[in-house]
Amino acid sequence: MSDFIIVVHGGAENKDRSEIGMEQDAAYRKGIDKALQAGWEILNEGGTAVDAVEAAVRTMEDNYLFNAGKGGAFSDEHENTFDAAIMDGNTLKCGAVGDVKKVKNPITLARLIKDKSDHVFLVADGALEFAREQEMELRPEEYFRTHKQEEELEKALKEKGKEKPSKEKLMKDTVGAVALDKHGNVAAATSTGGLAGQHNGRVGDSPIIGGGTYANNEIGAISCTGDGEGIMRANVAHEVYALVKYKNMSLHDAAAQACNVYKDKISGDRNLIALNKDGAIVFQFETKLMFRGSRIGQEPPYVAIWKEE
């Protein structure tokens, strides 16, 4: 078994350096580093991969720069709704939440669904009711409203008015983490604020087990980001699993193929992070950048944004 590992992503975008700017570049790197540190501290103390990925994702949900939690995108009705999922690769237990409002940390709600509910997936008012039953921290609408989100919604609504809208540079990111703990178990977690200007009630790929999130000790753990509809249609996370399990592909090759399967029929970018028990780490992305990082055992953290890093 490899040393313990934490890997995170804060989404993947088709933006240039000039659009990000030096100040935001540094802020994104700081956010990724903080997420790595949160997960690493748990793993270093002998904690579980599930605890580590939840902690890592929570830090990004609390950071307005990322499209999850506090920084979640606005729907076409100017509302914030959240999707999230978490999965334990050892037990195959998982929890997911979709189209939920007011919950400060949707990934923790997904964790509570996994641990304390008879179900896997709760949505909308039912998910919020469960959050209240679990005495989760809720926040008013104002907490989730930032200038960045307002700008993204304005762009989204303008794109919708075009005859041929282009969504390449609209907010559609996700945050996620995968981890390997000292006990040899893997886990995955993914959280998102959805697509800027999305229709009320839309749920993306992030909470879909086998779509945007999957973990299984036999194969590894995967967290996706990109065009949610395309990732769901291609069943990307499970496709990685299937290619490794049934075709004996390496994790790296499986990830590359899963992100390209049925490209003639399914448009949109597909990107992911993945990790297995042997310590193989994959950052697979077709966009210009991916906010990403990893840390292996006592080695220094790796934090990157651009392809050449």
Q: Specify binding-site residues for substrate.
A: 202-205, 225-228
Which residue among 81, 108, 174, 287 is the active-site one?
174
- Going by C-beta distance under 8 Å and a sequence separation of 6 or more, which residues neighbour residue 271? 9, 12, 224, 225, 226, 259, 284, 285, 286, 287, 290
Alpha-carbon gap, residue 103 to 90, rounded angstroms:
27
Instruction: Report phi then psi at 240, rounded to 5.
Output: -60, -50
Tokens (6 digits) for 139: 């926040």
For residue 10, give Cα distances in angstroms to 92, 169, 185.
Answer: 24, 15, 23
E strands, 160-242, are 175-180, 186-192, 213-216, 220-226
Q: Measured in whole angstroms, how far is the alpha carbon of residue 119 from the centre of its chain?
A: 21
Burial call 119-139: b when 16+ CB within 10 Å, e when fewer: ebbbbeeebbebbeeeebeee
At 281, give phi and psi (nearest 5°).
-120, 135
Strand positions, DSSP E, the chain: 5-13, 82-88, 94-100, 121-123, 175-180, 186-192, 213-216, 220-226, 270-275, 281-284, 289-296, 302-306
Taking a C-beta distance cutoff of 8 angstroms, is the pair 75, 198 a contact?
yes
174 is catalytic: yes
Angle subtended at Cα 106 by Cα 175 and Cα 43, rounded to the nearest 5 degrees = 65
Binding residues: 202-205, 225-228
Q: Report how far residue 66's alpha carbon sits from residue 127's, in angstroms, rounded to the nearest whole number.
A: 22
SS3 of residue 19 by DSSP:
helix
The residues carrying an active-site annotation are: 174
